[in-house]
Each structure stands twice: as C-alpha cells, then as structure tokens.
Amino acid sequence: MNETEATESWFSRGKAEADKGIPYHERVTGITIVVFSVLMVFYFAAHQTWSTGFFTATFGTLEMIMLYGSLIFMIVTAGLEGVLGQRLLSRLFDTFGGIIFVTVAIAWLLVVFPFEFAYFADVLPDFLRFLVQWISNDIARVLMVLGIIVMGFAAVYAPIAYGFVRKKPSKREE
C-alpha cells in the first residue's frame, strides 16, 4: 500500500467505486423497486382514503410515518441509483440512516401491527384480488420478521462494505 492509498479517505474510495458506473441489470432493478414502491404508496393510500378496514384504530401518525417513510426511503435510494445513476448518493443514504430507519419502522409496525389483512385485497378489482388475498395476518407477520432480519443484516453490512471499498490502482499508479 503506497502513501496515497494509506491517506485516502473511505469517502474518496467509495466515490471512486461508485463512479465506475452502474450495470444495466442493477439499474433495471432500481427502476423496478421505484415503480413497485410508488404503487404500494398508492395502494396503502387507497386503503386509508376509502377506509376499507385494512388499517385498524391503532394506525396513527407515527405508524403512518413508519409505513410511508419506509416506502419513500426505497423510492429515494432506488431512484438515485436506478433512475439517476447516482450510486454514491444512494449508498450514503443507505449507510447513514436509511436502512436503520426501515428496520426500526418494520419492527415498530410489527409490534403495533395496525393492520387487518382480511381487507388487504379490497381495493383491487375482483379479477386481481387473488394476487394478495392469500396474505393473512400471520403470513404478514412472518414477512415482516424476515424483513427485519434482512434489513438488520443490511444495516450492519452497508457501513462495513462502504468503509472497505478499495480503489483499484489507476494506470498511472501501476
């Protein structure tokens, strides 16, 4: 390791890695996440607006912030990376709080559980209800626990991976 590499900050190593470009399949994945998350915002807003019974009386302002905030987080990070090609900004947002927020939000929603999944399909047209009608409260809880586990690992992994990004030597340094 030369002196330049030793004094180089983790931020500059991360920026160099992010500047390499984003592969096509990762951009498509990011765009897909944005579209799915926007649809989920509209789906939940429809439940809330039409008072379907999906949200229970325990769905208050904090729960609203947790649910919609998590979706907005996904839209922002996936949008930065997939739509705008800004991997560094996306990773900074992930590493410094975004993933932790989503993990805490899912955990809070699991504890409070302000949902009644018997009504989850009610905002869909009849011919599409089969897509989500199978989701019960118990299945939703299992999916939320899996989400907490995955996001918990991501909350630990993201800063470690970001901190250990190594810049490949340029042709001048070789």
Q: List the structure tokens of 6.
A: 């030793």
End-to-end CA distance of the chain: 12
Predicted confidence at residue 154, as pLDDT, reads 86
Q: List the structure tokens of 158.
A: 């993201």
User: 73 or 170: whose pLDDT is higher?
Assistant: 73
Q: List the structure tokens of 153.
A: 């690992």
Neighbours of 23 (CB within 10 A): 9
pLDDT over 90 at 163, yes or no: no
Any idea which residue has 């500059």 for tokens? Answer: 12
Segment 95-121, tens digit of pLDDT: 777 888 999 999 999 999 999 999 999
Residues composing the chain: 174
Predicted confidence at residue 139, as pLDDT, reads 98
Distance CA 34, CA 111 (A): 27
Domain ranges of the chain: 8-163
Closest Cα partner for 91 from 165, 145, 150, 153? 165
Who's near 67: CB < 8 A, 6+ residues apart? 44, 105, 109
Residue 20 pLDDT class (50, 70, 90 cuts): low
